[in-house]
Amino acid sequence: MARSDELPVLGEMLARAFFDDPVSVWSCPPSGLREAVLRRFFTVRLRQVAAKGEVWVVGERASAALWLPPDRWRTTVGEDLALAASQLHPRLLWRLPLVAWGLLGVERVHPHAPAHWYLAVLGTEPETQGRGFGSAALAPVLERCDRDGIGAYLESSKERNIPFYARHGFRVVDTLKLPRGPVIYPMWRDPG
């Protein structure tokens, strides 16, 4: 699991991993701003998840999986405000209400039952993708889900990632279109 001193470095890695992600591009269209905005966002999110969940890291910080345990996945108002503040930039202020509404909509479709582990983020350093680091980062919690007989849930923001998650037992259960933005694919995994 990640140490607290690793979180800023992991935030940088996740910013690179999600630079071309459809939700990242939608939330921060100017590419010149995106990496810095994503770095702030992921550093805040890493701290939130580390405080009440688990951050699994593999391959010398090549990949990270941010997991929230059953009944602890909901963000608080304070967490939502911290995430919104991480995206503040004069050139993005006009988008903030749209982005906030869209991301809160993602949380609104999150299933409340049955109890499940929530994969909030899985990211891998771009030059190391395809080498098994993402699968290795998922493994500890998915093994626990199977052992304990509990499900897992995630939202894939890239359609091309659906086969990867399907290999780990996830299936698409819905689609959600962000306002004037991309489609997100909520996915569920029954314990094996």
Give the residue from 192, 88, 93, 76 showing the smallest Cα distance to 143.
192
pLDDT, tens only, 94-114: 888 888 888 888 888 899 999
User: Mean pLDDT, to the nearest integer, of 20-31?
Assistant: 95
Residue 2: is its pLDDT beyond 90? no
Query: 118: closest CA among 104, 130, 107?
Result: 107
Q: What is the DSSP letter of 75?
A: P
Separation CA 48–CA 58 (nearest Å): 20
pTM here is 0.93
Could you tell me what percent of the chain has a pLDDT over 70?
Answer: 100
pLDDT band at 88 (very low <50, low <70, confident <90, very high): confident
pLDDT number for residue 189: 98
Report the chain's terminal Cα–Cα distance, integer Å. Answer: 23
CATH superfamily of the domain spanning 4-189: Gcn5-related N-acetyltransferase (GNAT) (3.40.630.30)
- What residues form DSSP beta bridges with 131? none
71 closest CA partner among 54, 52, 55: 52
62 pLDDT higher than 80:
yes
* Domain-wise residue ranges, the chain: 4-189
The model's pLDDT over 142-164, given as tens digits with 9 standing for 90+, comes to 999 999 999 999 999 999 999 99
The answer to whether 19 and 35 are in contact (CB under 8 A) is yes
Cα separations (Å) of 129 from 43, 62, 133, 190? 21, 9, 7, 26
Query: What number of residues does the chain have?
Result: 192
Q: Which pLDDT score is estimated for 91?
A: 81
Element spanning 117, H or E: strand 116-124
pLDDT digit string, tens, across residues 173-192:
999 999 999 999 999 999 98
Report residue 36 as tokens. 């810095």
| pLDDT tens-place string over residues 10-20 | 999 999 999 99
What letter does residue 123 receive in the DSSP assignment?
E
